[in-house]
Structure 1
């Protein structure tokens, strides 16, 4: 005889209008509640969109807008910027590999904003495309799309 477990019915959540700030707060709350050894990246789907089923209990529903998140830096973006997290992830991995090999970040020389040197990353085989946006390296080694203050 087979014993069948009853499946819990998936809770249905309403659609809610939430700002990017509210989504950021929900992601931080979710992250704070994770068990040791479980990472925030479980929230990020293959297309870099957020998995709202996991955030719905915190947000009180499923956001009506789609937000996207970088798997490397955890920056969150709106629909019109959905390509940025994918670019950041690839460039961050390339920067990390470059620094590991050369012990120095791939920066454009004499650039006061610490822009990533795509040419150098491509020349050394760490990156296979040239992004059309400028990315910058923070002092902590993280890549960002936000131009730093001088």
Structure 2
């Protein structure tokens, strides 16, 4: 008869956004190349915190989410942001690859993504409920207009 050792449950702990970001950076630093932080992202964009418990000292009480495209990390209240960031980043990348142009709103004060153009051209299947902007750093998206100040 084989007995299985009962798994000791990890304690749930309160974790701040800066703490989870630090744990993700440490996880990535400890991994051999070519493994990066994207291995922590579940299908729903949540972070597999079970793999971070050794850096945090337990399992966070709340969920955190990460964009696969930009690596930005969000609290649960902002969980839609990484979903839309990834969807629109892919659409923008494909549009630029196909046309050589940036899909930007004309006469906009900031480099805001032109959702209608991307939808009309069939690059985007869903329109985010908030604006996204194209940064100069590798044409990555951001949801924060203060990024340009």
Fold-level similarity (TM above 0.5) = yes
Match of 2:80 in 1: 83
Match of 1:145 in 2: 143
How many aligned positions are there?
146
Q: Give yes or no for the alignment of 1:50 onto 2:47.
A: yes
Query: Quick one: structure 1 residues 72 and 8, their matched pair in 2 at CA, closer, same or farther if it must change by over 3 Å?
Result: farther
Shift of 1:122: 0.8
Shift of 1:14: 1.2
Shift of 1:110: 2.6
SS at match of 1:68: strand
Shift of 1:84: 1.1
**Per-residue Cα deviation, 1:102-135 (whole angstroms, up to 9, x for no partner):** 1122111232211111011111111012111100
Structure 1 residue ranges (4+ consecutive) displaced by more than 4 angstroms after TM superposition? 6-11
RMSD: 1.9
1:1-150 alignment, distance < 5 Å: 10=7, 12-140=9-137, 141-147=139-145, 148-150=147-149
Query: Quick one: structure 1 residues 13 and 119, their matched pair in 2 at CA, closer, same or farther if it must change by over 3 Å?
Result: same
Q: How high is the TM-score relative to the length of structure 2?
A: 0.90
Distance 2:8 2:29 in 1: 23
| Contiguous gaps of at least 5 residues in structure 1 | none
| Contiguous gaps of at least 5 residues in structure 2 | none
Query: Quick one: structure 1 residues 106 and 60, their matched pair in 2 at CA, closer, same or farther if it must change by over 3 Å?
Result: same
